[in-house]
């Protein structure tokens, strides 16, 4: 127990977690395959992906609940593969709270301190500090079943931070709560992370949660990491079609991609040539896609629209209009039947309505060129 | 349905009466003033209780039964709880066989088990020994511990054990502080069944007794076949009162514990 870091005594320098080619196989299927990842000290890292993508198995491997088939796991540079869960100095918060029903709130929170043989007086101080941190003072003598779901989860968080572990793992901690409570607790978790300085590893399938909370996000699919990056990088520069579609909305324009000069490519779509920066890693023309985020697209009423080599344009028909107050979404249909999605900010709405023939336009620089992945739609549902 | 309910009540009342009737006969009979088991008694006295407590053979048998039952309770509760943990948590082929083996004393006829125990103890020179009684009764009591404890363990949320491990508790600490308190009602029920199983066991005890060491039911059996005096009713009444008190205490404790949650 470090006695640095007043006032709460709960702050602690975060640990560094290194996964080296981690693999976990069950019978003939790989739950996690060849995952390498370094989580920096004090970082808020989210493992994001659909169910069955390997994110929870990875988290359980860090906790020590799952023994990897191969690969290595290091915390602060020390291999922990043979260290049992209770000696890893890790905290964990579970989706269904996992509070001990036969203990009061105070006894639950004091449990890890008791295991560490912390003196009674000090225990009470730390329990108070932890309850204050999760903003539940005065709940010491209640039993878990007397608390709401949100309160129980805050007690679970208090219990996992009270001994100042170097790493805190969270497995969909807000998954069982309703939307309003979730939004509020998200901010609470972020605040607690900022206050403590502990390394957080957070598992979720909720992309909004990942974007709001994380310093960096690792996107999982089929047991593999698709991309690791800051929320901004993942959103603006997705490296696979899966990431582009899993994180946020996007319009996907599929077609044949050819290299065009030294620093650009072209893609044929609806009889037009669309340009994008960069190139795909291959010679000749291959199946690819240009991905554009909805707020990067603009619609122009009949005949309008920008021209020049900086811009891509496509004809489209407005199908539906979704008014959201601060913004408006337009669902469009391209001549070849593919959908497109546009988001306009209030005050900048184009004068179009459903049924209108429009021009869809966006900057070449806003086009993200990616290799096609025919299975991506199946993976997302 | 108008008629159905009263009929059901009457039926249940009859079944209940049928179940307690023997006790309702034996209890008054133990206070009879006559030297026969005639019911209803025509006069009253406490002489049979006096007889019971005044006769070293009766008192000795009573204490033997208590000793055996307490030891059986401790041994079978510990072994049975451990077995239940193994049976519910383990994996592998042997598990089904082990389960059947542990529960087999409930199915194997008592007389068969009795003859087997007698032959074995004869060879081991354990006939009429305290250890022999405890061993034989423990085998009989084991299923009654394993069944309720295993049932509690199956309904137990394993994530609590993962949480406990993540919080720094090793396996033993987790078992003692998390698992055991939460399956305690099952353990308590098992311990109670074990005590009662041993305390009123007669068939096996008849075989493995000796003139120097016999349990209360054995003493009662030999008494009823030899001299038929109402001391046996006094002994039976004390068995009834003891087991009833035990069950009441156990259910009171269980109810209080669950209220505290």
Task: Decide: A139 and A147 in contact? Cβ < 8 Å.
Answer: yes
A78-118 tens-digit pLDDT: 999 999 999 999 999 999 999 999 999 999 999 999 999 99
- Cβ pair A92:B166 closer than 8 A: yes
Chain A residues close to B260, C-beta within 8 Å? 143
- Cβ pair A94:B159 closer than 8 A: yes
Chain A residues close to B169, C-beta within 8 Å? 86, 111-112, 115
pLDDT of residue A38: 96
- Cβ pair B167:A159 closer than 8 A: yes
CA distance linking residue A23 with residue A40, whole number of Å:
21
DSSP label of B168: T
Cα-Cα end-to-end distance for chain A: 46
> Does residue B156 sit at the A interface (CB-CB below 8 Å)?
no
Chain A residues close to B178, C-beta within 8 Å? 100
Question: Between the CA of residue A24 and those of A68, A85, A86, A115, B103, what are the distances in Å?
Answer: 5, 17, 21, 30, 38
At the fourth CATH level, which superfamily is domain B45-260?
MetI-like (1.10.3720.10)
- Cβ pair A115:B173 closer than 8 A: yes
- Cβ pair B170:A84 closer than 8 A: yes
Domain limits of chain A?
17-236, 249-380
Q: Which chain A residue's Cα is nearest to B173?
A: A115
pLDDT mean over B54-82: 94
Chain B residues close to A91, C-beta within 8 Å? 166-167
The domain over range A17-236 is classified in CATH as 3.40.50.300: yes
pLDDT of residue A374: 77
- Cβ pair B162:A163 closer than 8 A: no
> Does residue B163 sit at the A interface (CB-CB below 8 Å)?
yes
B145-199 tens-digit pLDDT: 999 999 999 988 999 999 999 999 999 999 999 999 999 989 998 999 999 999 9
CB pairs under 8 A between A and B: 68
pLDDT of A5 > 90? The answer is no
pLDDT of B206 > 50? The answer is yes
Query: A368: distance to nearest CA of chain B, Å?
Result: 42
How are beta strands A298-301 and A90-93 bridged, if at all? unpaired
A188-215 tens-digit pLDDT: 899 999 988 899 999 999 999 999 999 9
Q: Which chain B residue's Cα is nearest to A144?
A: B261
| Helix, strand and coil in chain A, % to nearest 5 | 25, 35, 40
- Cβ pair A92:B170 closer than 8 A: no
> Does residue A145 sit at the B interface (CB-CB below 8 Å)?
yes
For chain A, give me the number of helices (H) and strands (E)? 9, 20
- Cβ pair B167:A143 closer than 8 A: no
Mutation site, B156, B168, B172, interface A, largest A CB count within 10 A: B168
pLDDT mean over A312-335: 92
pLDDT of residue B39: 81
Enumerate the β-bridge partners of residue A225: A220
pLDDT band at A375 (very low <50, low <70, confident <90, very high): confident
CA distance linking residue B157 with residue A64, whole number of Å:
18
pLDDT of residue A3: 39
pLDDT of A338 > 60? The answer is yes
pLDDT of A268 > 50? The answer is yes
> Does residue B182 sit at the A interface (CB-CB below 8 Å)?
yes
The total of other beta-carbon atoms located within 10 Å of residue B205's CB is 27
Q: Where are the alpha helices (DSSP H) in B126-230?
A: 130-154, 159-166, 171-174, 180-199, 203-208, 216-226
pLDDT of A6 > 50? The answer is no
Of B162, B173, B182, the CB nearest to A65: B162
Which one, of B209, B248, B69, lies nearest residue B144 by Cα?
B69
Q: Which chain B residue's Cα is nearest to A105?
A: B261
| Range of weakest confidence among A318-322, A374-378, B23-27 | A374-378
If one compares A263 and B110, the residue with the highest pLDDT of the two is B110
Domains A17-236 and A249-380 share a fold: no
Structure tokens at A359: 């021009």
> Does residue A147 sit at the B interface (CB-CB below 8 Å)?
no
Of A65, A99, A112, the CB nearest to B168: A112
Of B163, B174, B261, the CB nearest to A98: B163
- Cβ pair B168:A63 closer than 8 A: no
CA distance linking residue A111 with residue B169, whole number of Å:
9
Percentage of chain A beyond pLDDT 90 is: 66
If one compares B137 and A177, the residue with the highest pLDDT of the two is B137
Centroid of chain to Cα A228: 10
- Cβ pair A65:B178 closer than 8 A: no
Chain A residues close to B164, C-beta within 8 Å? 86, 100, 111
CA distance linking residue B125 with residue B129, whole number of Å:
9
Which one, of B89, B91, B99, B92, lies nearest residue B161 by Cα?
B89
Question: Between the CA of residue A251 and those of A287, A296, A368, A376, B4, what are the distances in Å?
Answer: 16, 10, 11, 14, 69
Quickly list DSSP for B52-115.
HHH-HHHHHHHHHHHHHHHHHHHHHHHHHHHHHHHHHH--STHHHHHHHHHHGGGTS-HHHHHH
Structure tokens at B203: 């068939």
Domain limits of chain B?
45-260
A296-306 tens-digit pLDDT: 999 998 777 78
- Architecture of the domain made up of A249-380: Beta Barrel (2.40)
| Range of weakest confidence among A134-143, A300-309, B231-240 | A300-309
> Does residue B177 sit at the A interface (CB-CB below 8 Å)?
yes
pLDDT mean over A227-239: 94
A141-181 tens-digit pLDDT: 999 999 999 999 999 999 999 999 999 999 999 988 888 88
pLDDT of residue A381: 62
pLDDT mean over B120-133: 92
A49-82 tens-digit pLDDT: 998 899 999 999 999 999 999 999 999 999 999 9
Task: Decide: A61 and A32 in contact? Cβ < 8 Å.
Answer: yes
Enumerate the β-bridge partners of residue A322: A329
B85-109 tens-digit pLDDT: 999 988 888 898 999 999 999 999 9
Please, what is the average pLDDT of chain B? Answer: 90
Chain A residues close to B261, C-beta within 8 Å? 101-102, 143, 145
């Amino acid at each position: 127990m470090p006695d640095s870091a007043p006032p709460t005594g709960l702050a602690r320098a975060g640990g560094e977690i290194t996964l080296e080619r981690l693999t976990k196989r069950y019978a003939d299927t790989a739950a996690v395959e060849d995952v390498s990842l370094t989580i920096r000290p004090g970082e808020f890292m989210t493992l994001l992906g659909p169910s069955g993508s390997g994110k929870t198995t990875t988290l359980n491997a860090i906790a020590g609940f799952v023994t990897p088939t191969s690969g290595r796991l290091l915390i602060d540079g020390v291999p922990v593969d043979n260290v049992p869960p209770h000696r890893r100095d890790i905290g964990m918060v579970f989706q269904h709270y996992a509070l001990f029903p036969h203990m009061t709130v105070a006894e639950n929170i004091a449990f890890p301190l008791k295991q560490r043989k912390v003196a009674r007086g000090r225990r009470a101080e730390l329990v108070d500090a932890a309850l204050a941190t999760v903003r539940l003072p005065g709940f010491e003598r209640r039993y878990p079943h007397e608390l709401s779901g949100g309160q129980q989860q805050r007690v679970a968080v208090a219990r996992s931070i009270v001994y100042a572990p170097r790493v805190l793992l969270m497995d969909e901690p807000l998954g069982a709560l309703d939307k309003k409570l979730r939004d509020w607790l998200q901010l609470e978790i972020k605040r607690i992370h900022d206050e403590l300085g502990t390394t957080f590893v957070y598992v979720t399938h909720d992309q909004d949660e990942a974007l709001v909370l994380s310093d960096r996000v690792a996107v999982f699919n089929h047991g593999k990491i698709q991309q690791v990056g800051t929320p901004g990088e993942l959103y603006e520069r997705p490296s696979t079609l899966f990431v582009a579609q899993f994180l946020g909305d996007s319009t996907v324009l599929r077609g044949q991609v050819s290299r065009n000069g030294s620093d650009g490519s072209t893609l044929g779509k609806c009889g037009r040539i669309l340009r994008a920066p960069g190139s795909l890693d291959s010679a000749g023309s291959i199946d690819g896609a240009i991905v554009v985020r909805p707020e990067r697209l603009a619609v122009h009423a009949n005949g309008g629209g920008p021209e020049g080599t900086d811009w891509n344009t496509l004809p489209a028909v407005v199908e539906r209009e979704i008014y959201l107050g601060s913004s408006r979404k337009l669902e469009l249909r391209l001549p070849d039947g593919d959908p497109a999605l546009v988001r306009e900010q209030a005050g900048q709405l184009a004068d179009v309505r459903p049924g209108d023939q429009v021009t869809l336009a966006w900057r070449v620089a806003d086009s993200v060129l990616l290799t096609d992945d025919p299975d991506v739609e199946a993976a997302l549902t | 349905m108008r008629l159905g309910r009263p009929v059901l009540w009457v039926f249940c009342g009859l079944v209940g009466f049928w179940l307690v009737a023997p006790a309702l006969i034996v209890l008054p009979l133990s206070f009879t003033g006559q030297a026969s088991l005639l019911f209803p008694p025509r006069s009253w006295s406490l002489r049979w209780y006096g007889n019971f407590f005044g006769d070293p053979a009766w008192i000795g048998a009573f204490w033997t039964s208590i000793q055996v039952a307490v030891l059986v309770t401790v041994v079978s509760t510990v072994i049975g709880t451990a077995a239940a943990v193994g049976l519910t948590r383990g994996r592998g082929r042997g598990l089904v066989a082990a389960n059947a083996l542990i529960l087999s004393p409930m199915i194997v006829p008592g007389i068969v088990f009795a003859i087997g125990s007698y032959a074995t103890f004869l060879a081991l020179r354990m006939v009429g020994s305290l250890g022999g009684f405890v061993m034989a009764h423990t085998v009989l009591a084991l299923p009654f511990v394993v069944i309720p404890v295993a049932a509690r363990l199956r309904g137990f949320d394993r994530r609590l054990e993962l949480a406990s491990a993540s919080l720094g508790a090793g396996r033993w600490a987790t078992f003692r502080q998390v698992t055991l308190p939460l399956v305690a009602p099952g353990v308590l029920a098992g311990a109670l069944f074990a005590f009662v199983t041993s305390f009123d066991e007669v068939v096996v005890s008849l075989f493995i007794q000796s003139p120097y060491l016999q349990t209360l039911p054995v003493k009662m059996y030999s008494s009823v076949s030899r001299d038929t005096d109402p001391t046996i009713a006094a002994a039976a009444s004390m068995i009834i009162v003891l087991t009833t008190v035990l069950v009441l205490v156990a259910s009171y404790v269980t109810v209080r514990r669950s209220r505290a949650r």
